[in-house]
Structure 1
Amino acid sequence: MTFALAVVGSAGSGKSTIARKIARRAGAAYFDKDTLAGPLVEAFMASHGYSEDERETNRFYLDTVMPAEYAALFAVAADNLRLGRSVVMDAPFAAYLHQPGFFEEAAARAEWPAVRQTVLHVYSSEATTKRRLTERALPRDHAKLSNWDAFWPTWGDLTITWTGVRLLTLNNDLAVDIEDVLPRL
């Protein structure tokens, strides 16, 4: 059975590790938003005089660039779903989680075929998330760590309001055995 799984969570929650493991185990196509659109986002931000590191706080990114990133993510997923290939999408989706119809509308705009749509919310504690971001030391995380008191309340404690999807949650503070997760999906 072909499925579409969105693995959602804040930066540092472990969503990418979980998403890759699920895709590998299920034989699904794996799409990371940052890998798919990252170089284009960097070039577009730079061409408009902005640093890629200020994504979460930049109106140009939030209003113009980010919607295009997610449109591309849903479009490439649609291409694979129409070929009968299950997909795992790895992205934070944080700016859209409060919009109940976002996922259904994005899938419809991308002309997804009828497939089971599941969202796996991967989360971890504030301490674990901060430790992971510090340890991975990516340039894009510098602004998050520098402004932690603003980042965590906004992006760390996510509530998903989407309709039309099956929602599952996964506490990723400790090592997760993917074989325990798969039956839930």
Structure 2
Amino acid sequence: MKPTVIFLIGPASSGKSTVGKLLVSKYNFGYLDKDMICNKFTGKLLETNGYSPFDRDGCSFYTDVVMDLEYQTLLDIANDNLQLGNSVILDAPFLGYFSNNNYINELIEKYNWHTINPIVLKVTVDFATLKQRMEARALERDTWKLANWDKYVQSIQEKQCLWENIKMVSFDNSSDTVDAEKLFQILDFKSGITI
């Protein structure tokens, strides 16, 4: 059996969690959400260093010190599951790592994932819908994004995932409900992926 790791990427409010949980319910993957794993600790770490617990975007302390700790924690937990033969979905933006085209190869070497099947599932959504969803969820951590919308959109457009040695698929999640049939078809788990 060859376990699969899905890197579920996409901007905040694109519906990654909804898509990820739908896949989990069908294929019985483990589901690891970086925010659920790290947010409480990250918030406290930021606060004790004089920042708002919701500072992420535009905060150099977060990007220089905290971000790598979050992702290392997420990947270590994922690796434990994968080594036990359990497939996992990683719900996290990974934006800060997109420019490293060797990122997946580095993870394969670090964690000995030579028998792991990695996939990127990029959840996309049109920007008008994205803004509506973000405004509707009204989370404090989105304050900077909404206040700097054009800059935020530009950063999404500029940051393309350049990873090599990994299958990449995109799923447009702009409609009001997730098209589950289309999602399952895009992933096509019958073609060589063992769950």
Match of 1:184 among 178, 183, 186: 186
1:53 touches 1:143 (CA, 8 Å); kept in 2?
no
| The structure with more radius of gyration | 2
- Regions of 4+ moved over 4 Å: none
Change (3 A) 1:39 1:51: same
* Structure 2 Cα separation of the partners of residues 26 and 85 of structure 1: 11
Residue 17 of structure 1: CA displacement? 1.0
* 1:1-185 → structure 2 map (5 Å cutoff): 1-112=2-113, 114-155=115-156, 158-174=159-175, 175-185=177-187
1:82 touches 1:113 (CA, 8 Å); kept in 2?
no
1:6 touches 1:88 (CA, 8 Å); kept in 2?
yes
Residue 170 of structure 1: CA displacement? 0.8
Aligned-residue identity in percent: 33
* Structure 2 Cα separation of the partners of residues 12 and 172 of structure 1: 10
Q: Gaps spanning 5+ residues in structure 2: where?
A: 188-195
CA-to-aligned-CA distance 1:82-111 (integer Å, 9 cap, x gap)? 111110000111121121112332343344
Change (3 A) 1:118 1:131: same
Higher helix share: 1
Q: How many residues align?
A: 185
Q: Gaps spanning 5+ residues in structure 1: where?
A: none
- Helix, strand or coil at the partner of 2:56: helix
- Helix, strand or coil at the partner of 2:165: coil
TM-score normalized by structure 1?
A: 0.93
Equivalent residue letter for 2:152: F
